[in-house]
Chain A
Amino acid sequence: MPEKSFEVFPRSPKKTYGLMELVKGTNPSVEKEPEDTIFTWPNLFYIEFIMALAITALLLFLSLYVQAPLEEEASTDTTPNPMKAPWYFLGLQELLVFFDPWIAGVTLPVLIMIGLMLIPFLDVNPKGKGYYTFSERKFAVTNYSFGMGLWLVLIVIGVWLRGLDWNWYWFWENGHVHKPVVAGLRDLPVMLSKGLGVSDSAGKAISDLMLFAYFVIGLVIPAVLFKDFFKRLGLLRYVTTMVMFLIMVGIPIKIALRLVFSIKYAIITPWFKI
């Protein structure tokens, strides 16, 4: 029988072709009766179309009857205090309290975007396609939910818990009364050098070592404890996943260091401070 060649993907005489992999499993339609299956069109599309109309109608009525929270016309001689971004940017604005502007405004958002883009390449778990599951994707779901939760909490803090001069106001506190300025934020290297009675450079070296140890321990311990996880991912995927994970966990740690222990910077370098 003569071999057929297709225009879209013609066989190249310079290449060799072979069977690459046999995968154990069944076709999604195996053991399903024809009665179990329905066509996307019109069954699904109708529902989606009706939902789209309903949501549009809901938004239309909301916009007609609920007033937008517009403030007074902007004036050149009064700056609002506090100056708040739209709610969806307040998480980012809240990060500015804890990190230098270019870290909070550029590095972290870029890392979040790169991390999200890397998910399809890092996630080797084939489970959970086309159905809901948590038990088969515990790490993935928990990890993502934590990042999402952290982002939402930052937004909640920015929207409801920041008042005059971007100070922390609890729900029950009067947001129109200025709070006294509390000085006394210190850098971790200085605290270490004073607390341990060593030189400034030694304190700085210890704080640098602590950051280094955080990443080393964070990389080594999960690899030892969860050997299957490490083997399944392979070295490159594992290191990328864990570095991203450790940076994410590092954000609430840095927030806690400042809010609870009054530490301004944990790491000081000539180029950046964290």
Chain B
Amino acid sequence: MKIVKEGTKKDADWATGLKRLYDSVVEEPMPDSFKHLLSKLDDEQKR
């Protein structure tokens, strides 16, 4: 069995990296295509 201790620092690095990968997308401005889609849903609701 691998000793977890050895990998702890690296683990922390990629765990942070994983979160950053996710957050970097979350923080992107919403593309216009989504704004259009969401506003179309609105139109549908009004029908």
A binds B: no
Residues of A within 8 A of B (CB): none
